Amino acid sequence: MSQAQTFRSREYQTTAVELIQATPPEKTPALVVMPTGSGKTHIFCNLIKVNPDKKTLVLVNRIQLVKQTARQIEAIAGITPAIYCGSLNSKEIGRVTVASTQSIKSEHLKKFEFIIHDEAHNKNDLLHERHVPPGCKWIGFTATPFVGKKLIYAEDKFYSYVLHEMSIKELTEAGYLCRYKMKRGDDEFDVSNVRITAGEFNTKDLEDLVDVEKVTKQIESLLVETSARKKIAVICISIAHCEVVRDLIEQQEPAAMTHSRLSQSQQEAELEKFEKGDCRFLISVNQVSEGYDFPAIDCVALMRPTRSPRLMKQAIGRGLRLFPGKEDCLVLDYGQVIKHCGTPNRPLVIEKSRKEEAKEATGECPVKACPQCGYFVNLRAETCYNCGHLLIEKKPIDLSKLTEESEQAQEKIDGWYLAKSFDFHKYGVSRNG
């Protein structure tokens, strides 16, 4: 056992631990929904600390997360967990075990009394009722409780309900997450002719969008937009697209790149180059869009068009953690991602109506891009918050059309109502207010 470090819990983290502790095993599997950067692993570690006699399994879906989670448990809970991961050549089971969902088998689950499933939105064969051991408490954690545009929880699903939830807006206003601002990138990809397969843009069609001349213009824009940014994560369509972007950026400055064709040691070397060196850019396909924890990221460039609100929210989440000297996170959208997925605060997903019948979200993106500066603002904003550009033209009211025919006649002028007549005494008020 290692010596635990002292980490102060935030109030919502303490609330989550208390709710989970109070929930009996038969009321699970249940979900805890919290944004990227809210400290979900801190909650895992405190659950492990307050359940010293329970054999606990923490399930994660990436090799990188196995090691990262194990380190955090050791630091916060003071326990060195066993690791069960084939890719790490370790298949040990202990009082506390961190395992990859690809390696652990369903028959192993019966050895545990408490199962914590990180990134619970990811599909795997373990998510089946028959795999939950009798008397075992199973809690899933996710920042994005949906796959495609459908929620992952319902009465007839593995996760039947949400036990506890916090939103990006709540944690940002409380000062626990960094604010973000979004801007439409110059020369964005045109996806109007891209086919849709199983609710997502067709991968082959997206790869066909990668034209060197087009990407060159995007990178020129990216370098200008990020001149004052310190760490930029770039999300690409494919490995080939990754390499084109990396080569173009490296004509101006160093860039790190990680993708699935690189070995584990090569990926770790590239991440170290980005995190500890002078390199500002990290280019990837999916490797850093989920589960990657590097708080210094202050810009996310979405160069991969997608219709997946999960991918959008997870990718932008990389830049929402607090970091000294970081004021906000800039999101640059080169793929019409915001248009098709909504925003991190208001993703376009299927919701439940009052009659509990599934219904599609309206499909109306809650924001619009200013035609002058490109920054996204509220859909009904009259002026751009960034540059002051007038977005809604106000039509002057023709006062000559007002008649004396009705005592109820009134017109709205600059937010005020002009009343033709009003009986002050009838409503018990004076003319002086």
356: pLDDT confidence band, cut at 50, 70 and 90?
very low
Q: What is the pLDDT of residue 287?
A: 77
pLDDT of residue 64: 80
The per-residue pLDDT for range 15-57, each reduced to its tens digit, is: 999 999 999 999 999 999 999 999 998 999 999 999 999 999 9
Higher pLDDT, 295 or 394: 295
User: Residue 313's pLDDT band (boundaries 50, 70, 90)?
Assistant: very high
Higher local confidence (pLDDT), 423 or 54: 54
* Average pLDDT over every residue of 102-106: 92
Q: What does the pLDDT read at residue 412?
A: 45
Give me the pLDDT at residue 314, please. Answer: 93
In this prediction, residue 84 carries a pLDDT of: 96
Q: How far apart are CA 177 and CA 172, in angstroms?
A: 5
Average pLDDT over residues 349-378: 71
Whole-number pLDDT of residue 357: 42
pLDDT-derived band at 257, boundaries 50, 70, 90: very high
Percent of the chain with pLDDT over 90: 69
Residue 295 has pLDDT above 70, yes or no: yes
Of the pLDDT bands very low, low, confident and very high (cuts 50, 70, 90), residue 327 is: very high
Least confident of 60-64, 141-145, 273-277, 381-385: 60-64
pLDDT of 361 over the 90 cut:
no
The pLDDT score that the predictor gives to residue 352 is 52
Q: Is the pTM of this model over 0.85?
A: no
pLDDT in tens, 213-225: 999 999 999 999 9
The pLDDT value recorded for residue 123 is: 81
pLDDT of residue 399: 59
Query: Residue 19 to residues 13, 104, 133, 339: CA-CA distances in angstroms?
Result: 10, 27, 21, 36
Q: Considering the chain, what is the average pLDDT of its residues?
A: 86
Burial of 162 (0-12, 13-18, 19+ CB in 10 A): middle
Residue range 98-127: mean pLDDT, rounded: 92
